[in-house]
Structure 1
């Protein structure tokens, strides 16, 4: 699209939560999830059913990643064949063992974004200088999120099922009003400080199409509007979780700006993003028993100065 506006101009009047939790805050809207919210999440547990939301790393069918990133590579260093050679390590008693490594983008699997992951105008979340990202994030890295952890009431918003589809289509958009309508159709309205978990099942196309999935790459997702941003702020949403790679429609259909909500919600409001989740087993369970709320918990890896981290979110119903 020609004449794409600068994101700073598009968001010139967008609200921020900078300074709301002090000048040194690095976890943003996760501050909404205090002990009361944790207990509110615990109160949703009815059966003790547990669901993990991480997609398999090293899936034989492929690992979906953002274009330009490559999937993780696991390498075997030691296995039983290592002891076919005379130079294998020797231990008293004859112990043998397996050992391996992984080479991966920290945001190349189910993952949490650090609040300093994106920015414009040279400023990160809470007004931190973007020069502080040089060589690693000195502020608003994923480490404070990992150290804190995430726990609260989660709500699944099954947009695909709500729209009567197996999966949403490329570039298909939805708004906060659609989220509200979806929740009401499921019989459980969205409440303030809920962790929003949005199912599109879009990544089914990755497994069906292979490399063709990335041709004309544009994901479905939330679409920017001032009203949507204001709704997120008023509802005090702490964490946005999706099964897509980037949590929002890739390019704004009106302005052409890429990933507007990464800046409007993450940079400006401190909403934490979680991406590439596998929501299929959870969605099937919710559709069966009609329970769409639960305890949502997550703890990304503690990695110093990192802009993101792999995670295996845990849901208990």
Structure 2
């Protein structure tokens, strides 16, 4: 995609952004009526996580993993009588290439602005002052839909560098007998996690499967409220001249979509197949981190 083609696509998607969305962006599409409809997805009461285990060991895709330090009583310092507490502390890079996380709308600065034309100077040394993860403080609750592209193509995973197109999304809907509707949380499986588990980690900063930028037109047409993937949603190498993360720019900056990156879908796929359906109630609860551009998350699917 040329720079001019990308600019035209960005402008089209930005024009289609719903009026009055404000700081919540596309989350405004999830109305109380949508939540009630999503609650009707609960039939068996089965729950399943969509988050990967937090990485604490360095790897080619995570050179600075989460640091986990025990700060309280541990083996060798435990007294035989009285009260003690086991305590610990975590420190992590939220926007890494391994841990499951949510991108807030202040995460992407493009052409000197944030989503909705918000001044990028609102991102300060002490944190962002607008479009932060705090906009999702009440949680993201809605109807989740998983579209499994490797399943559609009859492969275990998409090879790094491959793209998911709008046609793939439509074909997956048809094959899975599910329809993505307004206010839905759309999850697109590329098989990144399964490939990592079976073949080992690699440097995903330069090579990974993801959505093609034009696939975002499908999301706009269907009025999707949130986009998530078991990769980081963007393909590498980038398909777009001069833009390393075109899907991030289009989704967050143009459309106001919160993104969920590097989720874990392998357990979810098994439950979807066992339940015979690919839609479910989904609950995402980001941490209330002041001024934060994102948050680690553990999205839960409820059947």
Relative to structure 1, is the Cα distance of residues 64 and 131 closer, same or farther in structure 2, using a 3 angstrom cutoff? same
Cα deviation, residue 169, structure 1: 0.5
Partner of 1:193: 183
Cα deviation, residue 208, structure 1: 4.0
Alignment of 1:49-198 (within 5 A): 49-58=46-55, 70-81=64-75, 83=77, 94-108=82-96, 109-135=99-125, 136-145=127-136, 147-198=137-188
Relative to structure 1, is the Cα distance of residues 215 and 193 closer, same or farther in structure 2, using a 3 angstrom cutoff? closer
Cα deviation, residue 171, structure 1: 0.7
8 Å CA contact 1:251, 1:257 repeated in 2: no
**Residues 141-190 of structure 1: per-residue CA shift (max 9 Å, x gap):** 11112x13111111111111111111111111111221111011011122
**Residues 219-251 of structure 1: per-residue CA shift (max 9 Å, x gap):** 1111012xx34332231110001111x212133
Cα deviation, residue 207, structure 1: 3.3
Relative to structure 1, is the Cα distance of residues 288 and 189 closer, same or farther in structure 2, using a 3 angstrom cutoff? same
Relative to structure 1, is the Cα distance of residues 21 and 251 closer, same or farther in structure 2, using a 3 angstrom cutoff? farther
Match of 2:207 among 215, 218, 243: 218
Once superposed, which parts of structure 1, at least 4 consecutive aligned residues long, lie more than 6 Å away?
Answer: none
Partner of 2:293: 307
State the structure with more CA Rg.
1
Relative to structure 1, is the Cα distance of residues 49 and 159 closer, same or farther in structure 2, using a 3 angstrom cutoff? same
Cα deviation, residue 9, structure 1: 4.0
SS across alignment from 2:13: coil
**Equivalences, count:** 299
TM-score, normalized by length of structure 2? 0.89
Partner of 1:30: 27
Relative to structure 1, is the Cα distance of residues 111 and 254 closer, same or farther in structure 2, using a 3 angstrom cutoff? closer
SS across alignment from 2:147: strand
Cα deviation, residue 104, structure 1: 0.6
Cα deviation, residue 277, structure 1: 0.9
CA–CA distance in 2 between the matches of 1:64 and 1:196?
Answer: 28
TM-score, normalized by length of structure 1? 0.85
Give unmatched runs, 5+ long, in structure 2: none
Cα deviation, residue 106, structure 1: 2.1
Partner of 1:242: 229
Partner of 2:36: 39
CA–CA distance in 2 between the matches of 1:281 and 1:241?
Answer: 16
8 Å CA contact 1:186, 1:290 repeated in 2: no
SS across alignment from 2:19: coil
CA–CA distance in 2 between the matches of 1:280 and 1:12?
Answer: 32
CA–CA distance in 2 between the matches of 1:254 and 1:58?
Answer: 30
CA–CA distance in 2 between the matches of 1:155 and 1:40?
Answer: 13
Give unmatched runs, 5+ long, in structure 1: none
CA RMSD in angstroms comes to 2.7
